[in-house]
Amino acid sequence: MSSIIETRDLTREFTVRDRLRRRTVTAVDGLSLRVAAGESVGYIGANGAGKSTTIKMIVGILVPTSGEATTCGLRPVRDRRVLARRVGVVFGQRSQLWWDLPVRESFEILAAIHALRPAEARARAAELAETLELGEFLATPVRQLSLGQRMRAEIAAALLHRPELLILDEPTIGLDVLSKQRLREFLIAERREHGTTLLLTTHDMGDIERLCDRVLVVDRGRLAYDGTLDGLAATVGARRVLVVDLVEPTADLVGLPGTEHLRSKVGGLRQHLVLDGSTTLAAVLAAVAEHAELRDLSIEEPDIEDVVRRIYAASR
Amino acid sequence: MLVRATGVPRLRGDLRLRAYWLLLVAGMRTQSAYPLATFAGLVANATFGLLKTAILFAVVEAAGGGIAGYTAGTMSAYIWLSQGLLGSVNLYGRSDMTERVRTGDVATDFLRPVNVQAANILPAIGKGLFAFVPRGLPSIVIGVLVVGMTMPATPGPYVLGTVSMVLGIVLSHSVVYLVAVSGFWLVETRGFVGLYMAVGGLFAGLFTPFHLFPDWLQVIGRATPFPSMMMFPIDVLTARVTGFAALQVVGVQLAWLAGALAVGHLMTRAGQRKLEVQGG
Amino acid sequence: MVSAYRAVLASRVRAQRSYRTSFALDLVGAFLMGLAELAEVYILYTAVQGIGGFTFAQILLVFGLADLTFSLADIVFGHVDNLPEYVRTGKLDVYFLRPQPVLAQLVTSDISLRRLARAGVGAGALTVGLVLNDIAWGPATVALLALALVSGVATFSALFVTAAGLQFFLVNGAEMTNAFVYGGRYAATQPASVWPRAVTVVFGFVFPMAFTAYLPVTALLGLPGAPWLPSWLGWCAPLAALWSWALALACWRWGIRHYRGAGG
């Protein structure tokens, strides 16, 4: 498959001035990575690990100190304006919409900016409004939208010109569970229909699990892991944990299929079972029910910070 | 937002004084945190100073060497002292409080056990007083070195002039506070701010010394607090007015300051009540 | 792009007018500012018999031309001078993600209608000046005036862009550019004949403020120019505008290169 993002020894240094001393900080350090067209890649790392800097170089905002990036076969800085037509970007914390304007008018302006034909733009906007459920607030000024509504509008804005590459920087930050869910479902459908390549930075493991085939972990500007999520979990032992509350104290639930007993609390009233994913949750629950009556259950997702920490620890 | 003054705990007197002192110092520290900004202000000040010098020296020259009691030397003193005070006296009509009232953040101010008016004016005064060191003094030095200026030879004007200058700085921030809290009743105070800038700049002597104005305009000007913010302190400092007249100037400043603080106090109380009733 | 600009502007206009009272107060504030400055000119030029070879009636032309052209430039370009805010809020990064030149997007992102009031003061002063002065009207004088108006707006617009370019380096010291933007406006209302040489270099040539009003007016009225600034230079206002734009675009490119980290 052809690659849509390719970086070779990508490096970016910043000069930081504290008081009178100048210091050079390397935000991205010899990063080489390749994303194939159609892939869906999660790009994770701690704050300040170099994620945003990488993205800014990939889309042509920042010039690399050394090394090079190729996006959609173009040189991002030199070909910025051509590239802009082929990439959609959402920076979670900054808006590309017009604050005082109804969402619909922001879309009209963006369509003009991307030189879309009016009929084509209308059709696309209608499609996005439908799938992202924007209808109820298309006429509302952006400043009055809730965070979840705004993020959906932002993503629609980034997809209006049918980019082949969609880059999302923290798209689910601050969203409630339902909004997150909706957004993820939309992105899955969008990718299925249009084959859009997705690059996603996030602090939410759920985003990665639902959306990404592949994970890149960056640590102090370097690639610390590149592979599947399962592989990541296997590497650092970060797996989902099923927590069951039982009606009566029960002996440790050892040896149930697809699980590994982690620990028990309150004399066996609450037990933690690691899910290895080899069987369905229903099967696991059925197996638990054979031993004890279930009062309640919950699933602990692995904490992405924790995963990253472990990766860092392993790579140092 | 429901805010009840009675529910706010009162601080002990000495603690309260300490809080106010710290607020003043905090203002000074914020100002010192941006040396580049201060330098930038100085560059702008000096440029305007040179342009003012060019035009006002031409005026003095056209008048045959003296006009309204100014010679080239005292005109230069007026120009560079007023440029020096620009970083300290607020003639722009805008303050942090303007924004706090507009956004409604001010509601949290009422929850603190300090006087809201004092807590907002003091940091601004702190900034203003501090700015005089890196912005005011260099402006004056530039004036002395590049143009030269005539200053009094006795210590009296400097002592009273310093008092008058500080009063002018405090007065300007106290009146700007009034503009800010008018936002409790107005959706936007930008118009008021513009009015303050236009009228204030004119009567404070921002570009043209007050004493060059025709009489009728001086009468109007004296009915406003603006000359007391900058023009009159410069008069005292340059010994244009001395002795009893100088004391009178300080008296007028004190009266304006008392008035501004009193009105500010009433407006703060009324604004707080409005927040309580209408929820901001 | 044109239709996009129209849509953005229409929205900005609507947004500014939607708060009717505050917009009206804005207009009044801006008008008063213009009036206060005009009052200062009046005070100075009536306190003595003419300054730098200009009577009050004559300086009205300079003040009017300078204030009108500055205000018109300010309406369209004024917000550009607020670049650090665009950097801080990330708006500038968003402009990089769109297929237009960043500067074009920045310029077209806003418009300040309240400065119309200020332009009104300038236009009024200019009109009164044109009536009061004894002008030998003919195709040449009309052409000179038109040339001065267009070039003046262009020169001041370039000043705002120059400021924006330099503000990439002065994120905390943006006020420094006020020295030549607002200092420049102030200088433009003065007769250049009162300037010392250093000021003539800076505001006669580097930032060619004398070309926006003073020189065209001396050419219009047949007055003698200033040292280094003969009155025929009034016809060269378009050259000054070109030079200003060359400087502005150089500063902008330099600033953008710095922002993107490509040296500079």
Measured distance CA(B167)–CA(C140) in Å, rounded: 56
Q: Pull the structure tokens for residue A248.
A: 């009566």
With contact defined as beta carbons under 8 Å apart, do A175 and A203 qualify?
Answer: no
In this complex, is the C-beta atom of A101 within 8 Å of any C-beta atom belonging to chain C? yes
Give CA separation, A109 vs A125, A134, C93, C109, C110, in Å.
12, 17, 18, 11, 14
Q: Answer yes or no: do A120 and A180 share one domain.
A: yes
- Residues whose CB falls within 8 Å of the CB of residue B258, separated by 6 or more in sequence, listed in order: none
pLDDT of A20: 67
> Percent of chain B having pLDDT more than 70?
94
Instruction: Give residue A235's pLDDT.
Output: 72
Alpha-carbon distance B35 to nearest alpha carbon in chain C (angstroms): 8
- Any idea what the Cα angle at residue B43 is, between residues B39 and B46, rounded to 5°? 130
Task: Kindly tell me if the per-residue pLDDT of A86 is higher than 70.
Answer: yes
Phi-psi region of A35 (alpha: psi -120 to 50; beta: other; left: phi over 0): beta
Decide: C98 and A82 in contact? Cβ < 8 Å.
no
Q: Check residue C264 and give its pLDDT.
A: 41
Q: Give tens-digit pLDDT for B260-274.
A: 999 999 999 999 888
Band of the pLDDT at B4, cuts 50, 70, 90? very low
Specify the higher pLDDT residue, B215 or C2: B215
Task: Confirm if C59 and C41 have CB atoms less than 8 A apart.
Answer: yes
- CA dist C5 and C110 (Å) reads 9
Which domain, by its residues, includes A155?
A: 3-234
Q: Token pair of B127, please?
A: 């900034």
Nearest Cα neighbor of A211 from A188, A227, A181, A178 is: A188
Q: How confident is the model at residue A92 (pLDDT cuts 50, 70, 90)?
A: confident
CA distance C178 to C162: 11
- Amino acid letter, residue C153: V
Q: Is B14 exposed, middle or buried (0-12, 13-18, 19+ CB in 10 A)?
A: exposed
Nearest CA in chain A to C259: A62
**Given a cut of 80, is residue C256 above it in pLDDT?**
yes
- A246 and A228 housed in the same domain: no
Which tokens go with A38? 């159609």
Domain boundary among A209, A234, A259: A234
pLDDT attached to residue B160: 96
The reply to whether A113 touches chain C by the CB within 8 Å rule is yes
- pLDDT tens profile A9-32: 999 998 887 666 788 889 999 999
Structure-block tokens of residue C226: 């200033």
> Does the pLDDT of residue B177 top 90, yes or no?
yes
Domain boundary among A186, A214, A234: A234
> Residues B148-160, buried b or exposed e (16+ Cβ, 10 A)?
ebebbeeeebeeb
Residues in chain A closer than 8 A to C15 (CB atoms): 100
Which of C4, C93, C96 is closest, CB to CB, to A112? Answer: C4
- Give the burial string for C226-254 (b: 16+ CB within 10 Å, else e): beebebebbbbbeebbbbbbebbeebbeb
- The region of weakest confidence among A213-222, B269-278, C217-226, C248-257 is B269-278
DSSP B70: B
Q: Which pair of structure tokens corresponds to residue C248?
A: 């502005």
> Do A274 and A165 sit in the same domain of this protein?
no
Enumerate neighbours of A (3 or more CB pairs within 8 A).
Answer: C
The ipTM is: 0.93
Q: How many beta-carbon pairs under 8 angstroms link A with C?
A: 69
Helix ranges restricted to H, C48-138: 56-77, 83-88, 91-96, 102-107, 115-132
Q: Is A261 exposed, middle or buried (0-12, 13-18, 19+ CB in 10 A)?
A: middle
User: What percent of chain C lies above the pLDDT cut of 70?
Assistant: 97
Q: Which two tokens stand for residue A271?
A: 């037990």
Rg, Å, chain B Cα set: 20
Residue A309 domain-assigned (yes or no): no
Q: pLDDT, tens digit, for every residue of A18-75? A: 666 788 889 999 999 999 999 999 998 888 888 999 999 999 999 999 999 999 999 9
Tell me the per-residue pLDDT of B89-145, one tens digit each, with 9 for 90 and over: 999 999 989 888 888 888 888 888 788 999 999 999 999 999 888 889 999 999 999
Confidence of residue B25 (pLDDT cuts 50, 70, 90): confident
Chains in contact with C, where contact means 3 or more Cβ–Cβ distances below 8 Å, are A, B
Beta-carbon separation of C22 and B41 below 8 A: no
Tokens matching residue B176 = 């700007």
The answer to whether residue A281 is domain-embedded is yes
Average pLDDT, chain A: 87
The pairing of beta strand A259-265 with beta strand A66-71? unpaired
What CATH number is given to the structural domain containing A223? 3.40.50.300
Q: What is the pLDDT of residue B20?
A: 82
pLDDT for B280: 45
Compute and round to an integer the Cα radius of gyration of chain C.
19
Which residues of A fall within a CB distance of 8 Å from C260? 61-63, 77
Which amino acid is residue A172, in one-letter code? T
Would you give the DSSP letter of residue A300?
E
Residue C232: partners with Cβ closer than 8 Å, 6 or more residues away: C219, C225
- Domains contained in chain A, number: 2
Question: pLDDT-derived band of residue B213, with 50, 70 and 90 as boundaries?
Answer: very high
Q: Chain C within 8 Å of B193 (Cβ-Cβ)? A: yes
Measured in angstroms, the CA of C234 and the nearest CA of chain A are apart by 40
A45 lies in the same domain as A187? yes
Residue C185, C-beta contacts closer than 8 angstroms, at least 6 positions apart: C66, C67, C70, C156, C209
Q: Are C226 and C51 in contact (CB under 8 A)?
A: no
For residue range C136-179, what is the model confidence (pLDDT) as tens digits?
Answer: 999 999 999 999 999 999 999 999 999 999 999 988 888 899 99
Same domain, A123 and A266: no
C100·A81 Cβ contact <8 A: yes
Report the candidate in B8, B37, B11 with the shortest Cα–Cα distance to residue B22.
Answer: B11
Q: What mean pLDDT is predicted for residues B11-34? A: 77
Highest mean pLDDT among A175-189, A273-287, C234-248: C234-248
Q: Where are the beta strands (DSSP E) in chain B?
A: none
A314 within a domain of the structure (yes/no): no
A125-146 pLDDT, tens per residue?
Answer: 999 999 888 999 999 988 899 9
**Residue B196 and residue B260 in contact, taking contact as beta carbons nearer than 8 Å:** no
Distance, in Å, from the CA atom of A267 to the CA atom of C230, rounded to the nearest integer, reads 100
**How close does chain A come to C34, measured CA to CA in Å?**
29
Q: In this structure, what are the phi and psi dihedrals at residue A310, rounded to the nearest 5 degrees?
A: -65, -40
Does the pLDDT of residue B5 top 50, yes or no?
no
Q: Where are the domains of chain B?
A: 5-278
The predicted-structure confidence for B252-261, as pLDDT tens digits, reads as follows 999 999 999 9
Q: Which residues of C touch A101 (CB under 8 A)?
A: 11
**Model pLDDT for residues B225-250, shown as the tens digit of each residue:** 999 999 999 999 999 999 999 999 99
In a domain, A15, yes or no: yes
